[in-house]
């Protein structure tokens, strides 16, 4: 599969000029997420295992209730691809790839992955980028009416936006989501340190492997994330670093 198919940045860039105005900020954000989710699901199907999809939704919604935005229409799913990654869309849409799900061993680890994506949505990391792009697009359109070389300027600016988006969020946003995700997982009764285990698994994968190519391109290295999360760990989080329900195993995806 072409790695660009699941490139969240490309989706957001295309989306930034297509969102219509709505009366409420949340309405705009949710609409954006719906359109991004439609792009995902128009390219990659959800796994056919209804039991596992329901399981992920139950866990995800439980964690969402621990956040400051439980009212969002949260939806969770597993994308049927070998790529090892997880994605979120504005307004409460969260996807984990089959490749990543099958890499995980315990419910604590899945909770850590979902909580990281929840943190991105709660902090509106992707939504803020979309709004900035919309504002910049409007500004450039104004400039076009007053400049002879407006088309050249527009092309250059679009190139800048595309370059930024295809590289993912900045490192600070990823570190923030790691830290907030550990808090969300702990609030939900899960092992606050489980993300360390997930990151160690990712670090064990070869960076040149096709299945993790996009992940390594759009995120800080697992070792960088481990270092920053270690620094951010509070006494309260350390106290919650215990396996939930004896580190219950994940429900395995059934093979058709």
Ranges of the chain with pLDDT below 70: 1-25, 132-170, 207-208, 245-247, 255-256
> What pLDDT is attached to residue 188?
95
Give the Cα separation of 193 and 202 in Å (integer).
15
> What pLDDT is attached to residue 236?
86
> What pLDDT is attached to residue 250?
86
87 within 8 A of 113, measured Cβ to Cβ: no
Return the residue matching tokens 């697009």: 137
Surface-to-core class of residue 247, CB atoms within 10 Å of its CB (0-12 exposed, 13-18 middle, 19+ buried):
middle
> What pLDDT is attached to residue 132?
66
> What pLDDT is attached to residue 172?
77
Give the ranges where the chain is alpha helix by DSSP (H).
8-15, 25-43, 50-64, 98-101, 107-123, 125-144, 150-166, 171-187, 194-203, 213-218, 222-232, 235-239
115 within 8 A of 185, measured Cβ to Cβ: yes
> What pLDDT is attached to residue 24?
55
Give the Cα separation of 220 and 143 in Å (integer).
36
> What pLDDT is attached to residue 225?
93
């Amino acid at each position: 599969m072409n790695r660009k198919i699941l490139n969240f940045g490309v989706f957001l860039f295309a989306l930034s000029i297509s969102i219509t105005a709505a009366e409420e900020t949340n309405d705009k954000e949710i609409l954006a997420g719906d359109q991004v989710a439609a792009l995902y699901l128009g390219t990659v199907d959800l796994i056919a295992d209804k039991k596992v999809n329901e399981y992920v939704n139950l866990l995800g919604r439980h964690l969402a209730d621990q956040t400051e935005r439980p009212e969002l229409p949260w939806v969770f799913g597993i994308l049927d691809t070998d790529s090892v990654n997880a994605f979120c869309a504005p307004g409460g849409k969260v996807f984990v790839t089959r490749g990543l799900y099958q890499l995980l061993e315990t419910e604590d680890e899945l909770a850590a992955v979902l909580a990281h994506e929840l943190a991105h949505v709660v902090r509106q990391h992707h939504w803020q980028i979309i709004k900035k792009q919309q504002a910049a697009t409007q500004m450039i359109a104004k400039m076009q009416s007053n400049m002879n070389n407006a088309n050249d300027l527009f092309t250059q600016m679009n190139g800048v936006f595309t370059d930024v988006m295809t590289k993912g969020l900045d490192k600070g946003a990823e570190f923030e989501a790691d830290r907030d995700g550990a808090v969300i997982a702990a609030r939900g009764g899960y092992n606050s340190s489980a993300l360390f285990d997930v990151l160690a698994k990712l670090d064990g994968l070869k960076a040149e492997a096709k299945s993790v190519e996009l992940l390594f391109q759009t995120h800080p290295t697992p070792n960088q994330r481990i270092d920053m999360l270690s620094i951010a760990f509070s006494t309260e989080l350390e106290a919650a670093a215990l396996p939930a329900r004896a580190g219950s195993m994940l429900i395995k995806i059934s093979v058709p």
